[in-house]
Amino acid sequence: MTEVIHARGHEHVLARHSSTFEITSDDFLTPAGDCILAIEADRTPADFAPEFIDACQSTTATITVTIETGGHSDSVAGRGDPALEFTNERSAVGRTSEYVDDRTVMLEAEHAAEGFDRELVDALGAGHDATVTFTVHDAGDRSL
């Protein structure tokens, strides 16, 4: 199952954060937002289909986020969890930790913002449009 967000980069995309990455619907970004990869998202976790959310809440779910922009693409995988809410109407946050709040869309991500391909980050920093694809696979349910 997949969910897709369209967003855009911004001149202040730095992707230096070591424990999170974020896609936000906000229309601005300051240099302090070093986890934010894209802004002006056309959708947020609260917009995701109930079936997708249910699949992400499985203890055996693997969630992959793929970002494509400016001819570059990179992905990061993490795990689902029953505590994931997908209720935030502003942003989606992937975490390398097990911390959960209403913005969290994956736990124990392979890497955070600082781990994304630097050419991808440069393209986001140049303000290119971005497609962010969330995919969930559940080892316990082969029908996904």
pLDDT in tens, 51-110: 999 999 999 999 999 999 989 999 999 999 999 999 999 999 999 999 999 999 999 999
CB 9 within 8 A of CB 101: no
Confidence at 131, pLDDT banded by 50, 70, 90: very high
Mean pLDDT confidence for 22-50: 97
In angstroms, rounded to a whole number, what is the distance separating the alpha carbons of residues 54 and 30? 34
In a domain, 26, yes or no: yes
Distance CA(74)–CA(51), nearest Å, equals 25
Q: Name the CA radius of gyration of the chain, rounded.
A: 14
Q: Which two tokens stand for residue 35?
A: 């986890």
Q: What average pLDDT does this structure show over 114-124?
A: 98
Has residue 69 been placed in a domain?
yes
The single-letter DSSP state of residue 114 is: G
Residue 37 belongs to some domain of the structure: yes
CA distances from 102 to 24, 97, 126 (A): 13, 15, 29
> CA 139 to CA 118: how far, in whole Å?
31
The answer as to whether 17 is a domain residue is yes
Structural domain includes residue 88: yes
What CATH number should be reported for the domain holding residue 56? 2.60.120.630
Looking at residue 138, what is its pLDDT?
Answer: 87
DSSP state of 38: E
* pLDDT tens-place string over residues 74-87: 999 999 999 999 99
Asked whether residue 144 is assigned to any structural domain, the reply reads no
Smallest CA-to-CA distance from 58 within 94, 107, 92, 101 is with 107
Q: Is residue 115 a part of any domain in this protein?
A: yes
Domain count, the chain: 1
Q: What percent of the chain has pLDDT above 90?
A: 94
- Percentage of the chain modeled with pLDDT above 70: 97
Range(s) of the domain holding residue 13: 2-138
pLDDT higher than threshold 60 for residue 143:
no
pLDDT of residue 32: 94
**Inside any domain, residue 91:** yes
Please give the pLDDT value at position 75: 98
pTM: 0.94
Does the pLDDT at position 141 exceed 90? no
